[in-house]
Amino acid sequence: MTIPSQRVLIGVCGGIAAYKVCEVVSQLFQRGVEIRVILTNAAREFIQPLTFSTLSRHRAYTDADFWQPIYSRPLHIELGEWADLIVIAPLTANTLAKLAYGMADNLLTNTVLASPSPVLVAPAMNTDMWEQPTVQDNWQKLLRYNRYHAIDTASGLLACDRVGAGRMAEPGEIISYVESLLHTHGKRDYQGQRVLISAGGTREFLDPVRYIGNPSTGKMGLALAQAAQHRGASVTLISSSHLNFPLGVRGISVVSAEEMHSVMLRELPNQNVIIMSAAVADVKPRDFSPQKLPKHALGENLSLTSVPDIVADLAKHKQPQQILVGFAAQTGDILTPAREKLQKKQLDAIIANPIDQPDSGFQSDTNQAIFLDRQEFIQEIPQCSKLKMAHIIYDLLGKRFHRHSDRLP
């Protein structure tokens, strides 16, 4: 599934993490995004313009182009007006300081000042450099400007052999944020909102080896968490799948339905929006053996018992100003059972998605669905990436619940 054709300008600064940006450019181009690349002089010490021109199918610009009188209009003006979004990765301490104080002494910084577009920044530097008070002051100053969107640094082994903060975000996280900003155009319409999301398929163990489960990978819940965080929300993601929690998202890992039930109810009171996208088991083995059972001990019939109905209990305990959204993964007719679940569980809205259609539902990177709320508003969501679907869901929640109850801004 491709991102709708948009124009992204990528600024590459001087750091070893510049090699990661090659993957960003390549993947975005393959998704139909028009790319232009600017390299600072320091970036050219790490990677050549030819690499980016090959990956983007367009010449990559350097400061040498900035000073050449071969363009009909100043190059920084042309590029600044062309871009729908500017991405700067890796963002170095030097360029961070320039952006924080509105300085412009090269093609990249001049282009940023000449553009009204949102700017996504992904810093990368040595831990001691990143933690310097002056650098952190510049970072906080930059983030006070609504135009700038940030992917914070991760911790890990750095190129200098130091282990600590300062690693640039991985290409996949940058690409997801780009996809979000191309959809939202930089708006933070969920700023100040707290969003609680469940994800993945629970596992109900019979013994240390065997369990009752389902194929859910948690990708839809992950996309919902990313989209909400990119739109300014404070996000808590409760996952029963082996997910890497996104930077900036509070993650809590669980295994069973009972664990998810306990954590979701504990987290419920402080949330504005609750989205139950996890595929929770309906039953569990009645008994658990701490030792692996021999095959002959399993018998022909497995004794089962029910698990807590998480979404129903959330509905019982939620406050009127809170919005509770459920998911219904179905085969065949998806609308009728979703409508029944919406009413029976006292949900505000439900997302019905088919799991028997190609490239939809479990394990897929794409999805399709029907959005339905208690006012019988129905909206089909055509097949798209799960991140795109997450944004469409938030668009619909914002429109529907602002109009009916002012529960969202």
Extract the tokens encoding 194: 């707290």
Same fold, 7-184 and 194-405: yes
Is it the case that residue 336 has pLDDT exceeding 70? yes
Is it the case that residue 270 has pLDDT exceeding 50? yes
Once rounded to an integer, what is the mean pLDDT over residues 158-178?
87
Is it the case that residue 4 has pLDDT exceeding 60? no
The residues annotated as belonging to the active site are 160
Q: pTM of the predicted model, to two decimals?
A: 0.92
Report the distance separating Cα 399 and Cα 13, nearest Å: 40
Once rounded to an integer, what is the mean pLDDT over residues 86-99?
98
Is it the case that residue 57 has pLDDT exceeding 90? yes
Confidence class of residue 244 from pLDDT cuts 50, 70 and 90? confident
Once rounded to an integer, what is the mean pLDDT over residues 397-403?
82
Residue for token pair 């933070």: 188
Topology of 194-405 in CATH?
Answer: Rossmann fold (3.40.50)
Is it the case that residue 2 has pLDDT exceeding 50? no
Is it the case that residue 194 has pLDDT exceeding 90? yes
Is it the case that residue 14 has pLDDT exceeding 50? yes
Q: Check residue 409 and give its pLDDT.
A: 59
| Residues forming a β-bridge with 196 | 236, 274
Is it the case that residue 330 has pLDDT exceeding 80? yes
Report the distance separating Cα 63 and Cα 107, nearest Å: 6
Name the percent of the chain lying above pLDDT 90. 81
Confidence class of residue 33 from pLDDT cuts 50, 70 and 90? very high
Q: How many CB atoms lie within 10 A of CB 19?
A: 12
Q: What are the percentages of helix, strand and coil residues in the chain, rounded to 5?
A: 35, 25, 40
Extract the tokens encoding 300: 């022909």
Average per-residue pLDDT for the chain? 92
Q: Check residue 5 and give its pLDDT.
A: 59
Q: Check residue 51 and give its pLDDT.
A: 97
Find out if CATH 1.20.120.430 is the number for domain 7-184.
no
Asked whether the beta carbons of 225 and 197 are under 8 A apart, the reply is yes
Helix (H) or strand (E) holding 306: strand 304-306
What lies within 8 Å, CB to CB, of 288 at 6+ separation is: 205, 206, 207
Query: Domain segments of the chain: what residues?
Result: 7-184, 194-405
Q: Check residue 299 and give its pLDDT.
A: 76
